[in-house]
């Protein structure tokens, strides 16, 4: 149907935390948005309050049986709805939706919001994905990427360049993530917002805290961790609730759980920290800079196009706990006025180059073209 869209995301939670800024404008433009995903009933209810129609499908995990069930459920749903277009996000759903689109002839628009271990892992799931990647992506209506490095990786294996373009990540609503009155306060607070998996640098974060505390045992600093545990990750990449509880009992961190409105917590932070191994285009960095919070993060794809060293915060080497500790030390020792200026620089950059309006306009342009075919 001409006004029906099918969104495919990993979970209802990521639909709310990462896609809400796109969902709402599309609904306001009179599109009927269907979501194929899974997760808690509370998250599903929040999406339904926005006006979305949710369809529960199996979890997509790293084994061929769940992959088959997932593809079959999506195929049946796509045939039943016959939407104007399927909009998919993240690498596993992207490949599944692309293959289904080539079978059903329903247009598919992907958003490769980071590639994770796609080109590194040798598990069967990722070997299968790599096998079908070229054919599936080239069958799509369009393929959005969130940084030039990821796009170049796909171009190098033969993806049609004319079917690709780069978005400024998921964009940030600079009115919603409004600037705070950044204060010089004690104790100094570092906030780490993430899915709790090893690829996000959680282990380096903890080891970096230990190194810092050993060097400065009397300095008053809070280290806060926020976000969901992620059982959809490879087992080798998962971090258990027991591990996090141990860190809490050791006095290393505070765990803030999952929060749907992160603004009050950002407002109380002196700096965001993100020691990730790789990102698409980090939403939480965009949100922090929009609120004028300086950032320390890994010098990797998905982070370093947002944060320029010494202009919006500090960059450090990924996978290196000692580098994390030094960046923590450096941010604490940075004078208040300089930290405040870093935050202001960040907000200016978000308004000029990373507003959600750029993302919404790019999707609307694709949808309008499809409507006139």
CATH 3.40.50.2000 is right for the domain spanning 188-353: yes
The answer to whether the 4-171+355-371 and 188-353 domains have the same CATH topology is: yes
| Cα dihedral 74, 78, 83, 86 sign | positive
Q: Stretch 91-102: mean pLDDT, rounded?
A: 90
Chain segment 18-69, per-residue pLDDT in tens:
999 999 999 999 999 999 999 999 999 999 999 999 999 998 776 778 888 9
Average pLDDT over the chain reads 93
Chain segment 319-363, per-residue pLDDT in tens:
999 999 999 999 999 999 999 999 999 999 999 999 999 999 999
Side by side, the strands of the sheet bearing 32-37 are 53-56, 32-37, 4-8, 85-89, 108-112, 142-145, 164-166
Query: How far is the C-alpha of 334 from the C-alpha of 115, rounded, in Å?
Result: 34
Q: Cα–chain-centroid distance for residue 328?
A: 23
Which residues sit opposite 87 in a β-bridge?
A: 7, 109
- The pLDDT assigned to 121 comes to 67
Query: How far is the C-alpha of 32 from the C-alpha of 71, rounded, in Å?
Result: 23
Fold type of domain 4-171+355-371: Rossmann fold (3.40.50)
The answer to whether the pTM exceeds 0.95 is: no
- The pLDDT assigned to 132 comes to 73
Side by side, the strands of the sheet bearing 295-298 are 254-255, 221-226, 188-193, 271-274, 295-298, 313-316
- The pLDDT assigned to 120 comes to 66
Read off the tokens for 55.
């369809």
Query: How far is the C-alpha of 336 from the C-alpha of 45, rounded, in Å?
Result: 42
Candidate from 96-100, 179-183, 197-201, 318-322 with smallest mean pLDDT: 179-183
Where do the structural domains in the chain lie, given as residue ranges?
A: 4-171+355-371, 188-353
Greatest CA separation for the chain: 67
């Amino acid at each position: 149907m001409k006004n029906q869209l099918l969104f495919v995301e990993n979970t209802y939670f990521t639909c709310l935390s990462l896609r809400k800024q796109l969902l709402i404008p599309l609904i306001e433009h009179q599109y009927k948005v269907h979501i194929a995903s899974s997760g808690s009933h509370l998250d599903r209810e929040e999406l339904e309050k926005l006006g979305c129609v949710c369809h529960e499908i199996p979890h997509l995990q790293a084994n061929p049986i769940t992959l088959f069930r997932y593809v079959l459920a999506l195929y049946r749903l796509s045939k039943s709805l016959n939407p104007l277009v399927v909009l998919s996000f993240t690498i596993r759903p992207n490949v599944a939706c692309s293959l289904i689109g080539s079978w059903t002839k329903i247009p598919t628009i992907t958003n490769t919001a980071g590639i994770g271990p796609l080109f590194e892992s040798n598990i069967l799931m990722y070997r299968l994905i790599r096998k079908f990647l070229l054919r599936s992506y080239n069958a799509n209506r369009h393929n959005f990427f969130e940084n030039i490095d990821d796009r170049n990786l796909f171009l190098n294996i033969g993806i049609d360049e004319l079917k690709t373009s780069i978005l400024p990540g998921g964009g940030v609503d600079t009115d919603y993530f409004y600037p705070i009155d950044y204060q010089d306060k004690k104790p100094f607070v570092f906030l780490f917002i993430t899915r709790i998996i090893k690829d996000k640098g959680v282990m380096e974060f903890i080891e970096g805290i230990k190194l810092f505390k050993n060097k400065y045992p009397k300095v008053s600093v809070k280290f806060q961790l926020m976000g969901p545990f992620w059982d959809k990750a490879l087992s080798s990449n998962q971090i258990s609730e027991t591990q996090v509880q141990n860190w809490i009992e050791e006095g290393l961190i505070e765990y803030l759980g999952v929060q749907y409105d992160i603004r009050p917590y950002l407002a109380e932070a002196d700096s965001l920290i993100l020691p990730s191994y790789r990102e698409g285009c980090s939403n939480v960095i965009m949100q922090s800079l929009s609120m004028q919070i300086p950032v320390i993060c890994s010098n990797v794809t998905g982070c370093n196009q947002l944060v320029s060293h010494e202009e919006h915060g500090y960059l450090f080497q990924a996978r290196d706990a000692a580098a994390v500790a030094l960046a923590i030390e450096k941010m604490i020792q940075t004078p208040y006025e300089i930290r405040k200026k870093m935050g202001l620089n960040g907000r200016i950059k978000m308004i000029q180059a990373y507003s959600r309006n750029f993302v919404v306009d790019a999707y609307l342009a694709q949808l309008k073209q499809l409507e006139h075919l």
